[in-house]
Amino acid sequence: MLLNLHIENIAIIEKIDIDFSVGFNVLTGETGAGKSIIIDSIGLLTGAKSSKDLIGPFGDTAMVSAVFTRFTNQQLKAFSDQGVFPDDDNNIIVTRKIGTDGRGIAKINGVSVTSSTLKNISRLLVNIHGQHDGSKILDPSSHIEYLDEFANSRDLLEKYRDQYESVKKIRKKLDRLIEIKNKKEDLGAALNFKINELENANIKPGEYNTLKNARDAALNSAAISKCLYNCDRLLSGDEGCITDNIAAVVNELAGIKDVYAKISETLLKIENIKAELDDVCADVEGLLSEQEQSGYTPEYIEDRMYTLERIISRYKSEENAVASLDKFKNELAELEYNDIEIEKTQQKYRSSLSVLELMAHDLSQHRLKAAGKLSSTICSQLRELDMPQVKFKVSITRNMNDRGGNKYTANGYDSVEFLLSANEGSQLKPLSKIASGGELSRIMLCIKSTLNDDKFDSSAVIYDEIDTGVSGSTAQKIGRKLKSFADNRQVFCITHLAQIAAMADHHYKVIKTTKNSLTRSSVYQLSDSQRREEIARIMGGVDITEQLLKTADELIKSTK
Neighbours of 560 (CB within 10 A): 4
CB 100 within 8 Å of CB 52: yes
Q: In what order do the strands lie in the sheet with 126-129?
A: 126-129, 460-464, 490-494, 23-28, 506-515, 518-525
pLDDT by residue (tens digit) across 67-86? Answer: 999 998 888 998 999 999 99
* 291 has a pLDDT exceeding 70: no
Give the global pTM. 0.63
Q: Is the dihedral of CA 528, 43, 23, 495 positive or negative?
A: positive
Confidence of residue 41 (pLDDT cuts 50, 70, 90): very high
Neighbours of 30 (CB within 10 A): 14
pLDDT by residue (tens digit) across 13-28? Answer: 999 999 999 999 999 9
* 455 has a pLDDT exceeding 60: no
- Please name the residue ranges forming H helices in 385-461: 431-434, 437-452
Closest C-alpha among 400, 406, 405 to residue 360: 406
CB 462 within 8 Å of CB 492: yes
510 by DSSP, 3-state: which? strand
- Please name the residue ranges forming H helices in 202-262: 207-218, 221-236, 242-256
Instruction: Note the pLDDT of residue 188.
Output: 81
User: CB under 8 Å to 121, separation ≥6 — which residues?
Assistant: 79, 82, 84, 92, 94, 108, 113
CA atoms of 477 and 216, how far apart (whole Å): 95
Instruction: Note the pLDDT of residue 239.
Output: 59
pLDDT by residue (tens digit) across 313-364? Answer: 889 899 999 999 999 998 888 777 778 888 999 999 999 999 999 999 999 9
pLDDT by residue (tens digit) across 158-189? Answer: 999 999 999 999 999 999 888 878 877 788 88
Q: Determine the average pLDDT of the residues in 272-291.
A: 82
Confidence of residue 256 (pLDDT cuts 50, 70, 90): confident
User: How is residue 48 annotated by DSSP?
Assistant: P
Closest C-alpha among 416, 417, 478 to residue 449: 478
DSSP secondary structure letters along 522-556: EEEE--HHHHHHHHHHHHH-S---HHHHHHHHHHH
User: How is residue 454 annotated by DSSP?
Assistant: T
Provide the phi-psi class of 83: left if phi over 0, else alpha when psi is between -120 and 50, else beta. Answer: left
CA atoms of 111 and 231, how far apart (whole Å): 77
Q: Provide the angle, in degrees to the nearest 10, between the axes of the packed helices 338-384 and 318-336.
A: 90
Average pLDDT, the chain: 87
CA atoms of 51 and 28, how far apart (whole Å): 26
